[in-house]
Structure 1
Amino acid sequence: MKRSFAWFLVPILLLIAVEVLSVYFIMPFPGSQLGLDANNPYETSTARLEWAYWLHQNIVWLRLVGLLLLAYPAYLFLIKPRRAWHRYVAGVLVLAYGVVLYEVNQEMMADHMFLQPITKRVVPMSQNKIPGNKLVIGYEAFGQATAYPIQLIGYHHQVRDTVGGQPVMVTYCTVCRTGRVFSPVVKGQADEFRLVGMDHFNAMFEDKRTGTWWRQATGEAVVGPLRGLGLGELAARQMTLDEWATEHPNTRVLQADPAFADEFAGMKNYDRGLSKGKLTRRDSASWQPKSWVIGVDRSGYTKAYDWNQLQTTRILNDVVDGEPLLLAMSPDSVSFGAWSRRMGVQTLNFQYTNRELTDLETHSVWTWRGHCIAGSLKGRRLEPMPKAYQEFWHSWRSFHPDTQQYTKR
């Protein structure tokens, strides 16, 4: 009977292990999100993802094989046990498998935990109910602008919309503090995506047509048939709704779906870094894993800037990949912009004194939006640098391992 018990024990434990591992590798359990090289945990190794993807693709037949192996031993122990305790042990293990199967596939799957809007409403400012001090991801195309509150898309993780006649996929990962807008068009055809899990604490989506997994922070296909491809990123900006609406008076605004009122309420303090969750709260000190940084990407050359420093100095002058950069913060201390300091053949250098932003070359006065409002350059505008993001330091350095850190001058 010891041998028979092993016949039962091995397949039931393997079935439980398969279910647990299918979510362990792609959800934020202790140790699950790091690279396999313990000496370099931020190395973006794909081995863990490949294991997770293989399990995901083959879970059905793995279950079938396990159940077939379990069938006869289960019959022996549940129907015709030689000892009463055999039936109890077998019953408990079968019940445990049933609980694990339900929890994994109904409660722990990412797309069951974070649902898409049931009733999506995008309205003009005249009908808007979102407070003006809430942070939004703003996107404008072909004369149509839309604001997506972080409090809302932070729960949904993605919202599909049409802006300026083109489909867009607005995404946000609260654990990385990454907001990105992508075109959902893959190889000439708009696809559908579902939240499947996490990679290095970053949201990961699965496309419907091929089952490929895509990383939210970069739009890269990391495992699956389309591995190596990238979603087309669309230039978006993060700021308060008030500031966005000042720039785009005719903007539309995504409204809260009443079906998720409790979930949105739990996100009310996330905007300002006051979340209580271990994975989403902010480190107030600089250059800690959960510290805020502004990451700038220019043609693959990346640099990170300390949010605390920018709040103090209000502006930063620097050069990224040969392009002179101006980072400027709004008077509200949460909205920011990134601009090229080139003005024709001239490179401007900026200073912030007496609450006024001026350039040293012409002494013209500028707004934080890169607009000149007084002086010889009045009416001129700086060109935006589109790939500038606020996010957690651990996220930026994970997906930009060669990034430079700006040091105070």
Structure 2
Amino acid sequence: MKKLAFLLAIVALLIGAFGAIALTEAGQIINMPREWVFGYFEYRQWLNLLIVALAIIALYLSIRFNVLSRKLNILYGLAIIACLFFINLFAPEFWLRAQQHGAEFISVEQADQRLTDDTDIFVLEIDGDARAYPRDWMQLPHIVGDNIGGQDTVMTYCALSNLPIAFNPNMNGQKTDFRIIAQVHNNLIFTDRNSGELIQQVTGTAEYSQTELVQYPVQRMNWKAFKQLYPEGKVFDYNPTAFDKLTLKLFDTALEPHYAGEPMFPTLTMEDDRLATGEQIWGVNIGEAAVAVAKSHFDNASQFVTRVGTQSVLFVYYDELDTVAAYLVENNGIDWEDIDIDPYGKYVDGQLTRANLYSGMPWMIWSHWFPQTEVLF
């Protein structure tokens, strides 16, 4: 019975420790395969039950046959509880608390008391209704929900990828409850508590059903530009706890070399040297095609058209606002490079549709996820 108690105790602890590593940053430090992370998550509820059942039996046998001392039994029980906490609660409920529901927003005038003109802002505008999401206020929640222009929305942000993407949160016609799980290949993954799905942020695709979330275009600009363009807009309000403030300081320290081109986690291919690893790009991905635009290209042309697969995309750099926008255009005889397009996408004959623009991703991460990408230098 003593050998059985030891065996059950070790098996339970190993399964729990593996899950705690897989579903936290520790798994990416050791470059755990993406399939292992997603596979463990898919069966985590059954594995939770197995861990608890084995641990209870092991502790019963240990106490019944005096296998371990009382102190060691207590420590073992605490170790099992810690594993279950990191598997199920640490990221989504304690550390990175998503605000898909119940997020608060303030006016431009209120936010102006707390933000500086150069604050990095993610902008989501639908039918004239605009929201600003300061980067620093998105680093921990990662997910913020709202209804904008009559549409349900979630703004998501992955600090490792430096990537804001907005989605319609409804999947297959059903409401969702998104929570943060972990990251793989230096990009955020989150789960829908209602369906059990896992979603990779950079692709916007559910892992198990392969459902693609509907994406909304996001434009990145500084606070000064947002105030000028959307004075009636609203701003996501985030008030960090003392623990959050400490975490943010650690984030900023850890991300400094990462943004310089030394990936925090060794999970990227790092094979494409067309650009420096840390260079931030503006990217568009449509179907199987992708294009990345380097800052040097805007130095030569502030407005240009390029092809992304079968779609023509117009890039515009607004110098006075220091922001880039991308629009979907047709090859209908119009010389789009010479047409005056205002920052709202309007021109003399109409309104352009925005493309889903990925702004700020380091080249090492963009080229990992979109290895087929073209590059405009």
TM-score computed with the length of structure 1 as normaliser: 0.74
Q: Deviations over 1:26-66 (max 9, x none)?
A: 32225568574xxxxxxxx6454123322x12133212331
Alpha-carbon RMSD across the aligned residues, in angstroms, is 3.5
Residue matched to 2:270: none
Find the counterpart in structure 1 of residue 4 from structure 2: 7
The one of 245, 253, 256 equivalent to 1:276 is: 253
Q: Does 1:18 align with 2:15?
A: yes
Distance 1:241 1:10 in 2: 59
Aligned twin of 1:309 = 296
Describe the superposition over 1:64-117 as per-residue Cα deviations: whole angstroms up to 9, x where unpaired: 33124414431255x4x6xxxx53xx7436504513522651697211211245
Give me the whole-angstrom Cα distance separating, in 1, the residues matched to 2:229 and 2:169. 26
**How do 1:223-238 and structure 2 match up within 5 A?**
223=208, 227-238=209-220
Are residues 48 and 367 of structure 1, via their aligned partners in 2, closer, same or farther at CA, if it must alter by over 3 Å? same
User: Is the Cα contact below 8 Å between 2:180 and 2:191 reproduced in 1?
Assistant: yes
Partner of 1:161: 146
Q: Does 1:121 align with 2:104?
A: yes
Q: In structure 2, what is the Cα distance between the partners aligned to 1:180 and 1:189?
A: 20
Match of 1:39 in 2: none
Answer whether contact 1:168 1:181 (CA < 8 A) is retained: yes
TM-score, normalised via structure 2 length: 0.80
From 199, 203, 209, the equivalent of 2:188 is 203
Return the offset for 1:170. 1.1
- Residues 249 and 380 of structure 1, relative CA distance in 2, 3 Å threshold: farther
Structure-2 residue corresponding to 1:387: 356
SS of 1:156 mapped into structure 2? coil
Unaligned segments of structure 1, at least 5 residues: 37-44, 350-358, 373-378
Asked if residue 239 in structure 1 is aligned to residue 221 in structure 2, the reply is: yes
Tell me how far apart the structure 2 counterparts of residues 265 and 73 of structure 1 sit (CA, whole Å): 42
Unaligned runs of 5+ in 2: 262-272
Deviates more, 1:109-118 or 1:157-166: 109-118
Matched residue pairs, number?
359
CA distance in 2, matches of 1:265, 1:92: 33
Shift of 1:345: 0.8
| More helix as a share of residues | 2
- Give the 3-state SS of the residue equivalent to 1:242 in structure 2: helix
Q: Deviation above 6 Å: which 4+ runs of structure 1? A: 364-372
Q: Percent identity?
A: 15
Residue 178 of structure 1 and its aligned partner are, at CA, apart by 1.4
Match of 1:50 among 34, 39, 42: 39
Map of 1:42 onto structure 2 = none
In structure 2, what is the Cα distance between the partners aligned to 1:170 and 1:33?
Answer: 29
Query: Compared with structure 1, are the counterparts of its residues 335 and 178 closer, same or farther at alpha carbon in structure 2 (3 Å cutoff)?
Result: same
Could you tell me how far apart the structure 2 residues matched to 1:266 and 1:156 are? 12
1:51 partner amino acid: Y
Structure 1 partner of 2:90:
109
Seen in structure 2, the aligned counterparts of structure 1 residues 313 and 282 have a Cα distance that, compared at 3 Å, is: farther
For 2:122, give the aligned amino acid.
I
What SS does the corresponding residue of 2:258 show, helix, strand or coil?
A: coil
Q: Which amino acid in 2 is paired with 1:398? A: H
Deviation at 1:286, TM superposition (A): 7.5
